[in-house]
């Protein structure tokens, strides 16, 4: 099984021997890869929709993994019992949905050793939710695929260090590691905002333009703070 760059990065956050619930499995690619590579000891592929789950089931059969990967129709973690698995994956969905899955399935989440999360939006909201609920983001990665940027994280139970605003938005672990993909993303975001700011500066008579410029100026300041992590000499 050849995974996309995004899915490969997600799968790489799973530790060897883990028992895994893949929420929103879609085609079942991650469960298949985890079993093929002998990374997971057990995988349950979950999806709320019957169509994607059937596609996953057919792919599992096609890779001769029937009996090794179980498929379940499930709204989030609803079809998983506490203690059945020690790791969950929620990848390729909005941040609000990731939070809902964690909240609705909190009894299962309490029994997990780790959560592998790859929200497609509102990543800062996910980070804040996790830290507010005594979960620590111990590792993060970010990949670029087809011009889009995908952050992902490995989370365990425990108290986390304090976060600054830019660390909530862009990822404390990514910034600490000086992740090169994040650096590219930050430069792109700064360039976009500089262009919008310049365009708006031609319309300073508009109250709406002034308000927008104030917000963009603040955004640029936060991005610049994040880029400051990349200016620290590694030997200092």
Structural domain harbouring 92: 5-160
Strands 87-93 and 148-157: unpaired
pLDDT band at 209 (very low <50, low <70, confident <90, very high): confident
Tokens for 90, please give them: 């929620």
Task: Using CB atoms within 10 Å of the CB of residue 205, give its burial: 0 to 12 exposed, 13 to 18 middle, 19+ buried.
Answer: exposed
Please indicate, yes or no, whether residues 194 and 122 belong to a single structural domain of this protein: no
Nearest Cα neighbor of 76 from 102, 52, 56, 55 is 102
Domain contains 176: no
Confidence of residue 235 (pLDDT cuts 50, 70, 90): very low
Question: Same structural domain for residues 126 and 38?
Answer: yes
* Residue 172 within a domain: no
Residues 148 and 186 in one domain: no
- Tokens 């994280």 -> residue: 153
Instruction: Say if residue 86 is in the same domain as residue 194.
Output: no
How far is the C-alpha of 177 from the C-alpha of 137, rounded, in Å? 13
Output the six-digit token pair for 17: 């021997």
Say if 167 falls within a structural domain. Answer: no
pTM: 0.93
Please report the pLDDT score of residue 126 as a whole number: 98
Both 37 and 137 in one domain: the answer is yes
Q: 93 and 50: one domain?
A: yes
Element (H, E) at 75: none
In a domain, 171, yes or no: no
Within a domain: residue 156? Answer: yes
Residues 165-182: what's their mean pLDDT? 97
Could you tell me the CATH number of the domain that includes residue 29?
3.40.50.150
Cα–Cα distance measured from residue 6 to residue 149, given in angstroms and rounded to the nearest whole number: 9
If you average pLDDT over residues 84-90, what whole number do you get?
A: 98
Per the domain annotation, does 169 fall within a domain?
Answer: no
Q: Which of 127, 160, 193 is the last residue of a domain?
A: 160
Using alpha carbons, select from 33, 31, 17 the residue that is nearest to residue 69.
31
Q: What is the pLDDT of residue 43?
A: 98
Q: Are residues 146 and 192 in the same domain?
A: no
* Cβ–Cβ < 8 Å for 53, 70: no
> Is residue 142 located within the same domain as residue 218?
no
The per-residue pLDDT for 210 is 86
Helix (H, G, I), strand (E, B) or coil at 117: strand
Q: What local confidence, expressed as pLDDT, does residue 136 receive?
A: 98
Q: Are residues 192 and 103 in the same domain?
A: no
Domain count, the chain: 2
Domain co-membership, 206 together with 109: no
Structural tokens at position 212: 């927008």
Question: pLDDT confidence of 232, banded at 50, 70, 90?
Answer: low
Query: What's the Cα-to-Cα distance from 227 to each of 43, 50, 84, rounded to whole Å?
Result: 39, 44, 42
The pLDDT of 40-58, averaged and rounded, is 96
Do 98 and 134 lie in a common domain?
A: yes
Helix (H, G, I), strand (E, B) or coil at 171: coil
Is 170 among the domain residues?
Answer: no
Mean pLDDT of 90-94: 97
Range with the lowest mean pLDDT among 68-72, 127-131, 135-139, 209-213? 209-213
Q: Is 47 found in the same domain as 131?
A: yes
Evaluate whether residue 207 is within a structural domain.
yes
Nearest by Cα to 51 from 24, 32, 78, 76: 24
Mean confidence (pLDDT) of the chain: 95
Query: What is the pLDDT confidence band of residue 236, given thresholds at 50, 70 and 90?
Result: very low
């Amino acid at each position: 099984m050849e995974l996309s760059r995004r899915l490969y990065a997600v799968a790489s956050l799973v530790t060897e021997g883990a028992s895994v619930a893949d929420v929103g499995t879609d085609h079942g690619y991650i469960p298949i890869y985890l079993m093929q590579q002998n990374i997971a000891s057990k995988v349950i592929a979950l999806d709320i929709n019957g169509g994607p789950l059937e596609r996953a089931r057919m792919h599992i059969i096609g890779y001769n993994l029937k009996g090794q990967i179980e498929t379940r129709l499930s709204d989030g973690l609803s079809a998983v019992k506490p203690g059945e698995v020690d790791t969950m994956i929620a990848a390729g969905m909005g941040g609000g949905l990731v939070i809902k899955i964690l909240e609705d399935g909190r009894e299962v989440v309490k029994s997990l050793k780790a959560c592998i999360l790859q929200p497609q939006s509102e990543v800062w909201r996910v980070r804040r939710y996790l830290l507010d609920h005594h979960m620590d983001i111990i590792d993060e990665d970010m990949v670029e695929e087809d011009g889009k940027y995908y952050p992902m994280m490995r989370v365990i139970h425990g108290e986390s260090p304090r976060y600054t605003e830019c660390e909530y938005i862009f990822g404390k672990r990514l910034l600490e590691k000086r992740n090169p993909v994040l650096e590219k993303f930050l430069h792109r975001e700064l360039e976009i905002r500089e262009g919008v700011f310049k365009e708006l500066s031609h319309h300073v008579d508009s109250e709406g333009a002034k308000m927008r410029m104030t917000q963009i100026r603040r955004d640029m300041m936060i991005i610049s703070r994040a880029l400051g992590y990349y200016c620290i000499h590694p030997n200092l």
